[in-house]
Amino acid sequence: MSEDFPAPHEPAQGGARAPLRRQVLTGADDVVPELARLLRAAPVQVLEEVDSTNDELVRRLADPTQRPVHGTAVLAEHQRAGRGRRDRSWTSPARSSVMLSVLVRPERPGRPRTLEPDSLHWLTLLMALAGQRAIRAVSGLPALIKWPNDLLLEGAKTAGILARVAPDPQGRLCVVVGIGINVDLDRDQLPVPTATSLRAEQTRVGGRGETVVDRTILAAEVIAGFRDLLERFEAVGGDPSRPLPASAVGQTSAPAPDSSLLEALRARLDTLGRRVRVQRAGQPDLTGVAQDLTADGALLVRRDDGVREEVSVGDVVHLRPAEEGRDGGGSR
């Protein structure tokens, strides 16, 4: 699952916890010219504080006076009530993370539906791929994807993705996809021992705690990368097995044109080949080896009894062989 690391961008100067630079994120400032078209393609708004960026976009979508367009992105310097899967809380100090959500409208005026309802679940993994590539591009750190919606650095969670399906006032199905990335947090500021941040990992691997990843450039890479991937995914009708067309920009947030979304994800999915415990609501836990990502986006697990089972929904714990008998111990 190795891949070459692109050269990291230079970090922002002027100390930690700098505010996001709106001019860069909207494509008005030519700091990242290769991303400018994608940043200008739809509104990008930075808010000081919200309950969550997902909630904010869903609220705007339901308001007939707002009418947010396809690709609209909302970022927050601080979330009061950020959430992950199963309504778990996601909190961090102000200006320490990248927290953003993007609106996807498969039905847009003047054009056919771009994605069918049965392909919308891929948008979570689309954001995971954009986030994974953005972290590598900006920090040089070896981020990988944990199925279905986390990003890991050396087995510790540094980012989470959450998607919500919501109708607009006309009843058209839309999706809000959010991501939160721990950036400028020391290890003692992290909420749980199994979490990490870009700063903490830089300190651990190279003693570079004084180097702060530029949150603005990271956010720009995530937004542009997701929009670019989305354009290409729509171009193949939401079919994850079809080769994606070439990217229109010279940046690294997306796979090569001869790669399908499914191939790109398999190459970056840290879950594959690992012993896992899958926790599913209302069902016994499933333990076995994660073998593949299916054409439907499910995780194919070979259970300990030898039976192969497809898992479409569930929380996955990566197990270490010496500790897998413990309740949650040794997980990552």
More confident residue, 253 or 239: 239
Q: What mean pLDDT comes out for the span 291-306? A: 97
Q: What is the pLDDT of residues 85-127, one digit of tens each?
A: 555 555 678 999 999 999 999 999 888 999 999 999 999 999 9
Mean local confidence (pLDDT), 298-304: 97
- Distance CA(198)–CA(151), nearest Å, equals 11
Write out the residue limits of the CATH 3.30.930.10 domain(s) in the chain.
22-236
Give the closest residue to 270 by CA, choosing from 123, 143, 159: 143
Using alpha carbons, list the distances in angstroms from residue 191 to 35, 90, 158, 195, 226. Answer: 33, 9, 11, 7, 27
* Residue 188, amino acid: D
| Paired strand residues for 260 | 243
pTM: 0.89
Give helix 122-139 / helix 198-206 axis angle, nearest 10°.
40
- SS3 call for 140: coil
CA distance 203 to 46: 28
* Assigned architecture for domain 271-318: Roll (2.30)
- pLDDT above 90 covers what percent of the chain? 73
Other CB atoms within 10 A of residue 81 CB: 12
Residue 5: pLDDT above 70?
no
pLDDT given for residue 39 in this prediction: 97
Residue 321 has pLDDT above 60, yes or no: yes
pLDDT at 11: 42
Judged against a pLDDT cut of 80, whether residue 15 lies above it is answered with no
pLDDT in tens, 169-212: 999 999 999 999 999 998 888 888 889 999 999 988 876 555 67
Top-confidence residue, 204 or 303: 303
Task: Give the CATH number of domain 22-236; options: 3.40.190.10, 3.50.50.60, 3.30.930.10, 3.40.50.300.
Answer: 3.30.930.10
Give the 3-state secondary structure of residue 256: coil
- For the four alpha carbons of 211, 217, 221 and 222, in that order, the dihedral sign comes to positive
Render pLDDT for 217-231 as a digit per residue (tens, 0 to 9): 999 999 999 999 999
pLDDT for residue 332: 41
Rounded to an integer, what distance in angstroms lies between the CA atom of residue 114 and that of residue 1? 31
Least confident among 74-83, 147-156, 167-176: 74-83
- Taking residues 235-259, what's their average pLDDT? 79
Delimiting residues of CATH 2.30.30.100 domain(s) in the chain: 271-318
Q: Residue 64: its pLDDT value, please?
A: 92
**Comparing 247 with 309, which gets the higher pLDDT?**
309
pLDDT at 193: 86
pLDDT at 138: 96
* pLDDT at 257 (0 to 100): 62
